[in-house]
Amino acid sequence: MNRPSSCGLRHVALKVCDLPVMRGFYVDVMGFTVEWEPDAQNTYLTSGTDNLALHEVPEVHGPGSLDHIGIVVKKPVDVDEWASYLKTKGVLLTAEPKTHRDGARSLYFRDPENNGIQIIFHPPISDKM
């Protein structure tokens, strides 16, 4: 059987302890917009080409772990602009902008509940955006 086609990673769901704080971070700092809020424990956000679900739970634990989510940008310089912007918002970078051996450029930081986020220029993807 042939592998079915895919559009790639376009959806991430996070379990969160404080939905208002996390919603505010992703909307106010990261620029997502609210797509749908079906109830007080769930919010669905988008940047226009993806979906980030925030599901409030009493405690975040369980099997598996999330290393980071990646947000793709169009140009290498966009990574540096994000670094400057995040610093103006008081966000501590866990890794400053760096160009990798494959030509990608990225930085890392954490959201209010310690989920890793990467801003990345990745030529195979970014060149198609």
Q: What is the pLDDT of residue 64?
A: 52
Domains, the chain, in order of start with CATH, read 1-59 (3.10.180.10), 67-129 (3.10.180.10)
Q: What is the strand order of the sheet 33-39 is part of? A: 11-16, 51-56, 42-46, 33-39
**What residues form DSSP beta bridges with 99?**
105
User: Do 45 and 52 meet the contact criterion of CB atoms below 8 Å apart?
Assistant: yes
pTM of the full predicted structure?
0.81
Quote the CA–CA distance of 39 and 25 in Å, as a whole number: 19
Q: What pLDDT is attached to residue 66?
A: 75
Do 106 and 118 touch, CB atoms closer than 8 A? yes
| Predicted confidence pLDDT, tens digits, the chain (129 residues) | 787 677 778 889 898 989 999 999 999 999 999 999 999 999 999 998 899 999 998 876 655 567 789 999 999 999 999 999 999 999 999 999 999 998 999 999 999 998 899 999 998 888 777
The count of other CB atoms within 10 Å of the CB of residue 97 is: 20
Nearest to 118 by CA among 127, 128, 105: 105
